[in-house]
């Protein structure tokens, strides 16, 4: 097994126990912002609230993908990122 496959697997196995709590934090932020938010906005809000110690956008992006597959969130549009200037998906809880 290659080193990259090993490190990817190690990272994934390390996040498994934390996935549910991270999804709950994301649900709470999205519930308070019914107009929807980007992954960057969600992560920034979690950082601002002290939930996460640094702006790591991989905190929310993979969880949003999982939540979309489970039918918990949906993409409702796109908005320009204040960081990159590129369009990015706007997420909203499915009611």
Residue extents of the structural domains in the chain = 3-93
| pLDDT-derived band at 30, boundaries 50, 70, 90 | very high
In Å, how far from its chain's centre is CA 34?
A: 16
| pLDDT-derived band at 4, boundaries 50, 70, 90 | confident
Helix ranges (DSSP H) in 32-89: 39-48, 61-69
Is 3-93 a CATH 3.40.50.1440 domain? no
Distance between CA atoms of residues 34 and 12, nearest Å: 30
pTM of the predicted structure, to 2 decimals: 0.82
User: Largest alpha-carbon pair distance within the chain?
Assistant: 45
The answer for residues whose C-beta is within 8 angstroms of residue 72's C-beta and 6 or more apart is 23, 27, 93, 94
Span 35-57, pLDDT tens digits: 999 999 999 999 999 999 999 88
């Amino acid at each position: 097994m290659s080193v990259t496959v090993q490190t990817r697997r190690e990272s994934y196995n390390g996040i498994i126990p934390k996935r549910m709590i991270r999804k709950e934090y994301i649900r709470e932020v999205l519930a308070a912002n019914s107009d929807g938010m980007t992954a960057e906005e969600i992560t920034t809000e979690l950082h601002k609230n002290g939930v996460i110690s640094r702006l790591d956008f991989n905190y929310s992006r993979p969880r949003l993908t999982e939540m979309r597959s489970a039918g918990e969130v949906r993409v409702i549009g796109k908005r320009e990122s204040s960081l990159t200037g590129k369009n990015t998906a706007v997420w909203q809880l499915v009611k």
